[in-house]
Amino acid sequence: MAFGVLAQSAVSERGTLIDRTNAGLPAAMKRGERHGRWHVLTPHQQQEAKRMRGEHQTDVQIVALIGMLRSVVWRSVNTSP
């Protein structure tokens, strides 16, 4: 019985938290706050990685020169405009 009351309280609190978060996101966007994952590579590093990819260098070579994880370089080269 006590666990049932605690579980119901947790569900209610979770719903309240979700509602407050969803209400606050548009307000934060209007203030110009940035949301989402931060860029790890600088714009210069992204340009260099794309240039090296254009020169048909492998991901391993690009990672060795830039000094970041392969997944970071791959994401930067393949998803950035």
Return phi, psi of residue 69, to 5°. -70, 150
Residue-range definition of the domain harbouring residue 47: 43-79
pLDDT (0 to 100) of residue 14? 94
Give 62: exposed, middle or buried? Use CB within 10 Å, 0-12, 13-18, 19+. Answer: buried
In terms of domains, do 30 and 47 share one? Answer: no
Nearest CA to 48 among 37, 61, 38? 61
In terms of domains, do 29 and 49 share one? Answer: no
Number of folded domains that form the chain: 2
* pLDDT at residue 80 tops 60: no
Predicted TM-score of the model (pTM): 0.50
In terms of domains, do 47 and 70 share one? Answer: yes
pLDDT tens by residue, 14-43: 999 999 999 998 988 899 887 777 778 888
**Would you say 50 and 61 are in contact if contact means Cβ atoms under 8 Å apart?**
no
In terms of domains, do 31 and 14 share one? Answer: yes
Mean pLDDT (the chain) is 87
pLDDT (0 to 100) of residue 36? 76
